[in-house]
Chain A
Amino acid sequence: MTAPTEKQNIHDYLAEFDDIPGTRVFTAARARKGYWLNQFAMSLMTPENREAWKADERKYLENWPMSDEQREAILARDYNRCLDLGGNVYFLAKVFSTDGLSFAEAVSSMTDMTFPEYREMMNKGGRSPQGNRSIKGGY
């Protein structure tokens, strides 16, 4: 357990996050980059907007000042790419919920497994933290 003494420097605090395998921590930098991507996703919380989105996804995205990369990533449902471009899973959840996907199915698409394989892994106790805690440390 760490002692409660020293206040942490923000640069050191943020740098540590890059050492976690297969994870994009939702930092302020990502939140800024993904602002409109996330706000677009948020707009799908009303039935009217969901209908408009389903009717013409590409046209719906024109309403939002997102980058072309962000638009393509959303249209392709490439959620890892969306995370790289500043998306956050709780916002992206509005997109996959509108698609009728469960959290587990959408989440599995970000791993190297099919949904049945992912589900089986979860039923057997989930992904082990062993070897998944630190890139540098390899533990």
Chain B
Amino acid sequence: MARITAGVASSHVPLLGVAVDQGKTGDEYFGPIFAGYEWTKAWEKEEKPDVVILVYNDHASAFDMKIIPTFAIGCGERYKSADEGWGPRPVPDVEGHADLGWHIAQSLILDEFDMTIINEMDVDHGMTVPLSMMFGQPDKWPVKVVPLAVNVVTYPVPSGNRCWALGEAIARAVESFPEDLNVQIWGTGGMSHQLQGPRAGLLNREWDNKFLDMLIGDSDAARFIPHLEYLRETGSEGIEMVMWLVMRGALGKKAKCLHRHYHIPCSNTAIGHLVLEPTE
């Protein structure tokens, strides 16, 4: 039987991809950011997950204004790196797990989560940066990926509570997949950042760390944080953190922290990273 063995949270700032692609991960600016991922890279090599359910948002790459799915799941065989305006990142294609993707999609719909299904798309930094942070620069990504795209761009975006509940439903779906698979779920984006308007550059170390605390242990209080609080406290793009709640919801009642990292700044953004283990 398939099982969710761990949850990972990470920011997905595009500049981190640039640092990897241009070999700058050890320099004065990026060194302290990447140092916080060394533990996780070594841990992933030991854990050898078969599949990652990667919760992320598309940044006007695969989805434009024509179609705006609130929750969409990738059921394709393969996804290419998107051209975001400066050419595609030189990273391997992302290999899907179509059987697990379709199984989760069908299960979620029966469980009353009416998913949009994606068979073909390109994937942007929202997905490829977390893969680079956790796996470095391999010729081929060592995992298959089930993309789970969340609309966090056009309001209203889904509530934290709904994201958490989706995570719980994903866990139920994975547990009913007959193949023996080691599955991780990653929540990406955040933490505090604002990329627009005169208030751009807002960061909130205190709030971000309170949020990290809330995801560890047996509290589910984070699911009830209203959108307005993210907007006021963490900047207009801090709302991406609702995607971390899908991950946390999938881990069940209690989660143990294996690793934690926080760094300010990377470009416009506060970097946050957690590795969690379900402890039921």
* Interface positions of A (Cβ within 8 A of B): 1-4, 8, 10, 13-14, 16-17, 20-28, 31, 35, 38-39, 41-42, 44-47, 50, 79-80, 83, 88-91, 93-95, 97-98, 102-104, 107-108, 110-112, 118, 121-123, 125-129, 132-134
Q: By the criterion of a CB under 8 Å from any partner CB, how many residues of chain B are at the interface?
A: 50
Q: B154 near A26 (CB under 8 angstroms)? A: yes
Q: Across the two chains, which residue of chain A brings its CB closest to B239? A: A25
* Chain B: minimal CB distance from A20 (Å): 6
Q: Is the interface of A mostly helix, strand, loop or mixed?
A: helix
**A90 cross-chain contacts in B, Cβ below 8 A:** 59-60, 153
0/1 string, B105-116, CB within 8 A of A gives 1: 000000000000
A17, A88, A89, A98 — most chain B CB neighbours (10 Å): A89
* Chain A: minimal CB distance from B217 (Å): 15
* Chain A: minimal CB distance from B235 (Å): 8
| Cα-based distance from A102 to B186 in the complex (angstroms) | 27
Q: Is the interface of B mostly helix, strand, loop or mixed?
A: loop
Q: B200 near A111 (CB under 8 angstroms)? A: yes
| Cα-based distance from A112 to B198 in the complex (angstroms) | 7
Q: A1 near B65 (CB under 8 angstroms)? A: no
Q: Nearest 8 A-B pairs (CB), nearest first?
A: A126-B203, A97-B85, A22-B199, A22-B198, A133-B232, A127-B201, A90-B60, A94-B85
| Cα-based distance from A26 to B9 in the complex (angstroms) | 25
Q: A39 near B201 (CB under 8 angstroms)? A: no
* Chain B: minimal CB distance from A134 (Å): 6
0/1 string, B188-201, CB within 8 A of A gives 1: 00001011111111
| Cα-based distance from A119 to B86 in the complex (angstroms) | 22
**B202 cross-chain contacts in A, Cβ below 8 A:** 126-129, 132
Known contacts A45-B83, A103-B195, A118-B201: A1-B64 contact under CB 8 Å: no
Q: A125 near B264 (CB under 8 angstroms)? A: yes
Q: B154 near A42 (CB under 8 angstroms)? A: no
User: 9 A-B residue contacts at CB 8 Å?
Assistant: A16-B228, A22-B197, A26-B153, A35-B65, A107-B268, A111-B199, A129-B202, A129-B204, A129-B232
| Cα-based distance from A62 to B29 in the complex (angstroms) | 42
**A112 cross-chain contacts in B, Cβ below 8 A:** 198
Q: A125 near B200 (CB under 8 angstroms)? A: no
* Chain B: minimal CB distance from A31 (Å): 5
| Cα-based distance from A22 to B200 in the complex (angstroms) | 8
**A108 cross-chain contacts in B, Cβ below 8 A:** 200-201
Q: Across the two chains, which residue of chain B brings its CB closest to A100? A: B86
Q: B15 near A80 (CB under 8 angstroms)? A: no
Known contacts A39-B64, A42-B60, A133-B233: A28-B201 contact under CB 8 Å: no
